[in-house]
């Protein structure tokens, strides 16, 4: 058992680098000791600005063994966003490095560094581990930063209790054992990765890291699943849909794959049916829950699911309590997996929770209904949050960033449903003068501040942003324009659009045709600035 593989990582030439449980523990414990010797206190934040590597996993366990809180930050985020996040969570240490630069651990205050590879004086043993501080169940274990509607990412604080409630349940429910090889396809900054990493530690399964560059290349991913003999898979539906569509998953044998879990966005029912047909021996389940609650409901896809009905989000996990707001139909989620709150944001935290009969519930913002068989069905959002490949996006954050650029006076963003892309984001901007900002400049501006998945797919320049009678942005009118644009797109990566917006063509003005969608010629030329270009009633 101590020599069984804990982490499997493919190196640059495609060879497996295997780390045993013993090595993982020794490395993590020795690093934890160095953290403590450096003066790291319980609940100090240790930021991991690292790609998904063995070293990153070692850093996670080292942070936890030292009683500290790990804050995974995607290294491909724009520098500015990384710095803001480090400052926001007041990280004590930052661990950085990638294939081109060696790992370095820096104290953000003193700029002192801690060596990554300090030779162990004595191999770490249980005595070493016992000398380390021990976190309590209610102490924070990690902070995950997610899009915030006001333009600044919010840190979701998750306790040891919250993480272990989900992990222990999933281990039991899906019978994870030391025979399993669990893929880790999600970035560490994504809550789905807790399943992969902590089931490895809890059940003695191997955690096989999926190289970041393969995740969106379905062809390679399909090969990877087979070659790496993956038995358990948990990802966002978009990745699975890509494997079915582009990777020709159905034509291959995946006899080893026995558990397929997905969460983070709606998986089209017909794709679920195709997935089940392609991998008939596997248990497929839809897991539901925002980052703030982790998984709170789940639905096991029944054998022979034909995809004619939407896939329910199912029934509560045993550690969760779920109810709905009678008026709005909003799903309220409580129980052990609940976040402790947003980092350093008491008002947001207070707004996020509601008390029902003396119990604390998180307002998910998701509208649901309940089927006669007790299963919950997801109906939609109550606010302007959208999901794109499982990533959560507040459209308001994109607007704030765009409007922050010089010469952009106003910005509004909408999302359009797209069969392949999940959601296509279209931003509308009004500039100081025609041509003041080019499309490339506007996109580059977004990419400097936002993660790539939040950069709008299309940016449309308008002379006037459509407004309602009270001067509020008319998002419905903008959505109609966006749908027209998206339908007309000859997009190679999304040849077919599911959106059947009959209304779109007649609703949008004829001067919004994409072939003349050059900057500032899409608004009506009647000079009526207050009138919505899409409202010609």
Partner 1 sequence: MEIKTAVRQFIAENVLLGIHQTTIEDTTPLVSGGLIDSIGMIGLVNFLETRFKVEFVPREIDVHSLNTLDQIDELIRKKLASQGTGAAGSSQQTR
3-class secondary-structure state, position 309: coil
Minimum Å distance from CB 268 to partner 1? 16
Minimum Å distance from CB 124 to partner 1? 34
Minimum Å distance from CB 219 to partner 1? 9
Nearer to partner 1, 453 or 475 (CB): 453
396-419 in b/e form (b: 16+ CB < 10 A) is bbbbbbbeebeebebbbbbbbbbe
Q: Which residue has the tokens 């080292």?
A: 62
Minimum Å distance from CB 386 to partner 1? 15
Nearer to partner 1, 363 or 458 (CB): 458
Q: Which of 502, 353, 443 lies closest to 78 in space, CA to CA? A: 443
Q: Which residue has the tokens 């993660």?
A: 451
- Give the orientation angle of helix 54-65 with respect to helix 21-38, to 10 degrees: 50
Nearer to partner 1, 327 or 515 (CB): 515
351 contacts 343 by C-beta, under 8 angstroms: no
Q: How far apart are CA 281 and CA 258, in angstroms?
A: 6
Nearer to partner 1, 51 or 466 (CB): 51
Minimum Å distance from CB 94 to partner 1? 21
Minimum Å distance from CB 529 to partner 1? 24
Nearer to partner 1, 444 or 498 (CB): 444
CA 212 to centroid of chain Cα atoms: 14
In whole angstroms, how far apart are CA 424 and each of 242, 272, 386? 16, 22, 10
Nearer to partner 1, 339 or 517 (CB): 517
Q: Which 3-state string (H, E, C) describes 132-155?
A: CCCCCCCCEEEEEEECCCCCCCEE
Nearer to partner 1, 414 or 485 (CB): 485
| Beta-bridge partners for 428 | 412, 460
In whole angstroms, how far apart are CA 394 and each of 358, 478, 523? 30, 17, 26
Q: How far apart are CA 347 and CA 341, in angstroms?
A: 10
Minimum Å distance from CB 511 to partner 1? 14
C-alpha dihedral sign at 203, 204, 208, 209: positive
233 contacts 226 by C-beta, under 8 angstroms: no
Nearer to partner 1, 42 or 448 (CB): 448
Which residues would be at the binding site for partner 1 (CB under 8 A)?
12, 14, 76, 211, 213-218, 220, 242, 246, 389, 421, 438-440, 443-448, 450, 452-453, 455, 458, 460, 485, 489-493, 514-515, 517-519
Q: In what order do the strands lie in the sheet with 154-159?
A: 113-114, 101-107, 93-98, 45-49, 69-72, 140-146, 154-159, 341-342
Nearer to partner 1, 141 or 454 (CB): 454
Minimum Å distance from CB 316 to partner 1? 33
Minimum Å distance from CB 210 to partner 1? 11
């Amino acid at each position: 058992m101590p020599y069984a593989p804990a982490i499997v990582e493919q190196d640059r030439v495609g060879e497996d680098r295997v780390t045993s449980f013993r090595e993982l523990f020794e490395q993590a414990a020795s690093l934890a000791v160095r953290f403590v010797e450096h003066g790291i206190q319980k609940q100090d934040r240790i930021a991991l600005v690292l790609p998904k590597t063995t070293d990153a996993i070692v850093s996670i366990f080292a942070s936890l063994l030292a009683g500290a809180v790990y804050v995974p930050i995607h290294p491909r985020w724009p520098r500015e966003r990384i710095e803001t996040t480090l400052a926001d969570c007041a990280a004590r240490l930052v661990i950085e490095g990638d294939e081109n630069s060696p790992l370095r651990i820096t104290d953000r205050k003193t700029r002192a560094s801690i060596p990554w590879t300090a030779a162990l004086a004595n191999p770490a043993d249980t005595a070493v581990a016992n000398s380390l501080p021990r976190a309590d169940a209610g102490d924070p274990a990690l902070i995950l930063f997610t899009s915030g509607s006001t333009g600044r990412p919010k840190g979701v604080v998750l306790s040891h209790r919250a993480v272990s409630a989900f992990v222990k349940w999933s281990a039991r429910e899906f019978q994870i054992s030391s025979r399993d090889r669990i893929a880790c396809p999600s970035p560490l900054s994504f809550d789905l990765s807790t399943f992969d990493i902590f089931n490895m530690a809890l059940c003695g399964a191997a955690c096989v890291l999926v190289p970041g560059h393969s995740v969106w290349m379905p062809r390679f991913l399909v090969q990877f699943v087979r070659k790496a003999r993956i038995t358990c898979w948990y990802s966002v539906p978009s990745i699975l849909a890509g494997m079915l569509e582009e990777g020709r998953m159905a034509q291959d044998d995946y006899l080893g794959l026995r558990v397929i879990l997905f969460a983070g966005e709606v998986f089209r029912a017909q794709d679920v049916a195709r997935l089940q047909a392609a991998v008939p021996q596997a248990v497929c389940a839809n897991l539901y829950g925002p980052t703030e609650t982790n998984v709170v409901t789940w639905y096991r896809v029944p054998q022979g699911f034909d995809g004619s009905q939407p896939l329910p989000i199912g029934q509560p996990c045993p550690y969760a309590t779920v109810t709905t707001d009678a008026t709005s139909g909003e799903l309220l989620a409580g129980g052990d997996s609940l976040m402790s709150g947003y980092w350093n944001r008491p008002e947001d935290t207070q707004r996020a929770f509601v008390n029902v009969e003396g119990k604390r519930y998180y307002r998910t913002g998701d509208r649901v209904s309940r089927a006669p068989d007790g299963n919950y069905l997801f109906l939609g959002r109550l606010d302007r949050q959208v999901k794109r490949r499982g990533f959560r996006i507040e459209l308001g954050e994109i607007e704030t960033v765009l409007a922050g650029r010089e010469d952009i006076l106003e910005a509004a963003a909408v999302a359009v449903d797209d069969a392949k892309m999940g959601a296509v984001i279209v931003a509308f901007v009004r500039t100081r003068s025609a041509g003041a900002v080019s499309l490339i400049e506007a996109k580059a501006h977004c990419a400097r501040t936002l993660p790539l998945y939040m950069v709008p797919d299309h940016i449309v320049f308008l002379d006037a942003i459509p407004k309602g009678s009270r001067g509020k942005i008319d998002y419905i009118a903008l959505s109609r324009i966006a749908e027209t644009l998206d339908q007309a797109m000859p997009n190679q990566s999304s040849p077919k659009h599911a959106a059947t917006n009959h209304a779109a063509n007649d609703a949008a003005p004829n001067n919004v045709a994409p072939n003349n969608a050059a900057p500032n010629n899409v608004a009506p030329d009647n000079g009526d600035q207050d009138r919505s270009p899409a409202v010609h009633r």
